[in-house]
Every structure is written in structure tokens, then in C-alpha cells.
Structure 1
Amino acid sequence: MSSKPNKPQNHQQKSTARREALHEARLREQQAETRRRRIVIGVSAALVLALCGGVAIAVSGGSGHSGGAAASAPVVAPANTSGPNGTVITYGNANAPHTLDVYEDFRCPICKKFETSDGQAVQALADNGTYKIQYHMAAFLDDNLGGKGSITALAAAGAALNQSPADFKKFHDALYANQPDEQTDGYGDVNTVLYVAAKAGLNSDAFVNAVKANTYLPWAQQVATAFNSSGVTGTPTMKLDGKQLTLFDSSGNPISADQYTALIQQSAGTK
């Protein structure tokens, strides 16, 4: 039998092997670049956590204003905002007898730690009318660690708030429940933010289009600027009627939900 038909097959096999080798080389280079980037960001994150003792992320660096060309776009404030220039997000009965001011950054791992432990208790006291919550959101971790996850998530939260405070709260909770490692800047990817939003039931065309178009990015930058002028030096921070609350014990762990409720009742004089 002739061996000629095998030659094209051998040539094809060699071409396939060369393509696979080139693909593997590119993949190894991409993986190496990812490792190098994580090392650089990881060092920055370690410095931040060392400064704050693992209890709250300390504010440092610049303004947290990422966003490129969108920075010069007109400011469109979502519906349902309050405070100076619409930079405050209120959840709960606006006529509640007490006010809980909450200072957070969606990229902050310590905020997630507290939210996981006490988030339901925080919301329950707003839902029963003990206080209204005023959220003051930050984006300084984008400057501290690099990236744009804080500001991107905050802009998307504006799209949720434009629908209702309840949708903002659902999205707020979902962002913390699904928060990526702050070193990876996972929320810098709009598709990741939209995926988390969909898990919370936020997937209307109006919401998705506003997120993709960065409609509320200039507003988010304005909110971040207001946080930087607040005098708050770390996240999470909470103040009941202007008095700062102690949210963590001496070991750096969040107080329990029962302890939080008792603290609020004592501070509000309702116990």
C-alpha cells in the first residue's frame, strides 16, 4: 500500500502541534502577568490592612475617582437620593426618630465581614422604624489598591437606587454577599457587577442599560467626594444620631447581631 496519503496527515498534525504550543506559551505568559499583578496589588493590600489592624479599612491616597472620560459627563443623580447634591442614600422611614449614618466601600472586606455578621440586624431595626439608614459610600480603595471596582459598583448601585431604595438595599446586600477578593478588583468588570445584580433580581433593560452606559458614574464620583470630606477615617463606620458606634470587639471581630441590637436600643434609649 502507498504511504503517500499519510504525508498530509503528518503535516496537519505538525501544524496542530505548533498551534497548541503557541497557545500554551501565550497562556503561560498571561498567567505569569496575572501573578505579577496580584503580587503588586497584594503588597498594597497588606499595607492597608496592617495600618488598620484588620478592624476597619483606613482612608488614604487620592479621591477614589476612576472612570476616565465619564468624569467630565453631566452629573445625573438617581431618584430617591437625599443630602447635599443627592450624595446620601436613605433606606427606611424618613420620619424615623433616629438616624444611623453608615460609611462603607463596596470593595472593603471588613465591611463585608460586618455585613455577614450583623447586616440582617442592621436592616431589621430600619424596617421596624427604630431608625432610618443614611448610606455614605466611598471609593477610596480604588486609589489604595488600584483599579475601579469601588466606583463601578457604586455607579451600578445608583441605577438600582433610581428604581427604588428597596432595590438599592437588595443590590447592596448582594454586592457584599458576592464580594470578590479586594486584590482582584473583580467589581471593576461591569459584567461581574451585572451578574451579581441579576442574582438579586435586578435585570431590567433600564437597569442594565444605565450600568453599561455609566449613567450614574459622575454621580458616584460626587458621592465619593462627599465621603472624603466627611472626616470619617475608615470603613465600616456607623454613627447613631451622630455618635460613633463600636462595631468590633478587642479581637477585631464584629459584635454579634444580638449585641448590635442591644447597643442600638441602649443608645437610642428604647431598651
Structure 2
Amino acid sequence: MSSQNQGDAPLSKNQRRAAAREKAQAARLKHKRRQRAGKWLLQGGLAVVVIAIVVGVVLIITNSIRPAGPGPANMASDGITIGKDFVAEQTKALGPDDEPVTSSSTAASDTVNITVYLDYLCPICGQFEKANNDYISGLVKSGAATVSYHPVAILTNQSLGTKYSNRAANAAACVANYSPDSFFDVNTALFANQPEEGTAGLNNDALVKLVTGVDGIQKKSEITTCIKDEEFKSWVTSATQRAVDGPIPNSKVDALPGTPLVLVNGQRYQFSTPFTNEEFRNFVITAAGNSYADNSTGTATPNPSDSATPSETPTP
């Protein structure tokens, strides 16, 4: 007799087939579970990557959009006004959320107001200054005119990545804040040493040397720190945007059309190039109009025959 029990009996052919099918089905189920697990892991990994990218973009945008800082003193109108003997009009610094204060127009008085929106990298601005700076200097020194300078930075991306327009306008703002009565001379020096558009321009150390080397400059240490720290760079950006968006105060100009924008008693100077001082002188007289006819104070007034040198006082 055989000693093998029923449990040890060999499987039939049908039983072996059923067992094989069960084994194959179990293998397929295991494979599907692995596929699903891998899919969820992949999706989860992609989600993490997407979240990381989104967070990174948000951080970049957040870091690039900085709130505007306070503006410089004596530029409450986004510009500085310089009067007789080159003395600047004193105004308080605006806070980050304050709106610019429109300067008063002098169109109805015996003193003409010249307003210039300029970019220190703009070659046409440099040409206007070269042709007319001495003439403007003579008028301002005598009290026949005031001049308001509005530095903007519309050519910031035209200096090989150094943002010269913004940095130069910041340097000018530093002077307005710490040594305002030196602004006219610093403005003259910046144009006398103007770099070519499309070049890197002066670095901050060179700007410090140039600005603090101007005769009569005050608070050199504070100006040095201001220029190197680019204290007013966000203000420059905001002031530029306000000019670009418009309107231009005390004029009929809807928005900054480019630089230079020159206004005389609110009237836009439609210049031709090359610049000539004769053309600008004639425009000053025309724009001033009848405001000089009623002058009974003896104050010097512009005249096409006035001297263009700052050392001589213009006479009627």
C-alpha cells in the first residue's frame, strides 16, 4: 500500500491550469499596483517641481518690484527749481506714497521759467545743453529766469547693463538733497562728461569723484554715500514713470514725448537740430510774451541780444 495521503496526491491537469491562471492574475495585479504607485509618485514629483517654479517666480517678481522710497529734498515737483544766483528753491522731501507737488508757474510774472526734462545719457540733451547752457546760466544768475531740471531715466537699458541713466539721475538727486545750490554746476558737469549712448558710462566711484569735485559742493561725505548706495534709485524710476504717463504739469503736453523736453512758461520748445542758441533765445522771448512789457521793477529780462556767458548779466 502507498503511504501518500490525499493532500499529497498529484494535481490534475485542470488543477495545474487553474493554479497557473491564478498566479498570472496575481502577477498582473501586482504589476498594475506598481504602475499606479509610480504614476502617483511621478505626478507628485511634477507637482513639487511646479510649485517650486511658481514660488521661485513669485520671489523674483516680489524682489524686483520694490516700493518707491522717499524722494530727495528740494524736488517735491519731481524736479528742482533754481533761481537768482543759482539758489535752489527749498521743498520738503516727499514720502513714498506722497504725490508730487506741482511747482508754481511764472508765466504771468516778469521772470521767465525754463523747464527741462533730461536724461544724462541722452545725446540730444547734451547737444541742447552745449548750445544753451551758458545763455541759461546768464539768465538765472541775473534773476531774469528760473530753471527747473527734471532728471529722468528713459535710457537706463542703453548702457550695457550698468543703468547709467538711473545712476546719474540718482547722483543729481543726491546733490539736490544735500547741496541744492550746487545743482546747476553739477548738472553742467554731468553733461560736460557725458558718456556716449550704448556705453557703460561712469561707474559710481567716478560719479562720486565728478560730483564732489565741483566747486562749492557741500556735504561731500553724505553725497558720496548717497551715490554709492543709490539712495534715490527707486524714486528716479517712479519720477520717470510719472513723466512718461503724464500729463506734464503747467503745460499742455500730455506725456513725456522724449528727452529733452524744454518748456518756457509752459510752452513747448519745438527745436530743430543742430541746436542754435539764437533759435532758443528767440523762443524764450516769444514765449515770455507780454509779461516783460509790464516790467517796472528794473529786473533783467531775456532778450535775443543778451550775452550767453554766465559772467555777464543780461540786460533788456
Normalised to the residue count of structure 2, the TM-score between the two structures is 0.56
Given the alignment, which residue of 255, 266, 275 partners 1:254?
275
Matched to 1:88, the amino acid is: G
CA-CA distance at 1:152 after TM superposition: 0.3
Q: State how far apart, in whole Å, the 1-side matches of 2:212 and 2:220 are.
A: 9
Aligned residue for 2:66?
72
Matched to 1:124, the amino acid is: G
User: Is the counterpart of residue 183 in structure 1 residue 198 in structure 2?
Assistant: yes
Q: State how far apart, in whole Å, the 2-side matches of 1:168 and 1:100 are.
A: 15
Of stretches 137-146 and 151-160 in structure 1, the one that deviates more from structure 2 is: 137-146
Using the aligned pairs only, state the percent identity.
24
User: Is the counterpart of residue 210 in structure 1 residue 237 in structure 2?
Assistant: no
Structure number having the greater helix percentage: 1
Q: State how far apart, in whole Å, the 2-side matches of 1:72 and 1:259 are.
A: 43
Given the alignment, which residue of 266, 284, 306 partners 1:242?
266
CA-CA distance at 1:130 after TM superposition: 2.9
Instruction: Indicate if the aligned counterparts of 1:106 and 1:150 stay in contact, CA closer than 8 A.
Output: yes
Q: State how far apart, in whole Å, the 1-side matches of 2:189 and 2:205 are.
A: 15
User: Is the counterpart of residue 111 in structure 1 residue 125 in structure 2?
Assistant: yes
Q: 1:145 to 1:206 in 2, by over 3 A?
A: closer
Equivalenced residue count is: 196
User: Is the counterpart of residue 232 in structure 1 residue 256 in structure 2?
Assistant: yes
Q: Over the residues paired in the alignment, what is the CA RMSD in angstroms? A: 2.5
Aligned residue for 2:81?
90
Spell out, residue by residue over 1:120-149, the C-alpha distance to the aligned partner (whole angstroms, 9 max, x if none): 112222333333222222211113565300
User: Is the counterpart of residue 162 in structure 1 residue 177 in structure 2?
Assistant: yes
Given the alignment, which residue of 275, 283, 304 partners 1:263?
283
Q: State how far apart, in whole Å, the 1-side matches of 2:276 and 2:245 are.
A: 28
Matched to 1:76, the amino acid is: P
Instruction: Indicate if the aligned counterparts of 1:90 and 1:132 stay in contact, CA closer than 8 A.
Output: yes
Q: 1:213 to 1:174 in 2, by over 3 A?
A: same
Q: For residue 132 of structure 1, give the secondary structure of its aligned residue in structure 2.
A: strand
Spell out, residue by residue over 1:82-112, the C-alpha distance to the aligned partner (whole angstroms, 9 max, x if none): 22xxx12212266853322211101111111
Q: State how far apart, in whole Å, the 2-side matches of 1:141 and 1:205 are.
A: 28
Structure of larger gyration radius: 2
Instruction: Indicate if the aligned counterparts of 1:105 and 1:235 stay in contact, CA closer than 8 A.
Output: yes
Instruction: Indicate if the aligned counterparts of 2:265 and 2:287 stay in contact, CA closer than 8 A.
Output: no
Q: State how far apart, in whole Å, the 2-side matches of 1:82 and 1:73 are.
A: 18
Q: 1:164 to 1:198 in 2, by over 3 A?
A: closer
Q: State how far apart, in whole Å, the 2-side matches of 1:197 and 1:71 are.
A: 29
Instruction: Indicate if the aligned counterparts of 1:80 and 1:164 stay in contact, CA closer than 8 A.
Output: no
Structure 2: runs of 5+ lacking an equivalent? 1-61, 90-103, 247-254, 293-302, 304-316
Instruction: Indicate if the aligned counterparts of 1:105 and 1:150 stay in contact, CA closer than 8 A.
Output: yes
CA-CA distance at 1:173 after TM superposition: 0.8
Aligned residue for 2:114?
100
Matched to 1:263, the amino acid is: F
Aligned residue for 2:313?
none
Matches within 5 A, 1:15-94: 72=66, 75-83=69-77, 87-92=78-83
CA-CA distance at 1:74 after TM superposition: 5.5
Instruction: Indicate if the aligned counterparts of 1:76 and 1:215 stay in contact, CA closer than 8 A.
Output: no
CA-CA distance at 1:73 after TM superposition: 5.8
**Moved beyond 6 Å, runs of 4+:** 68-71
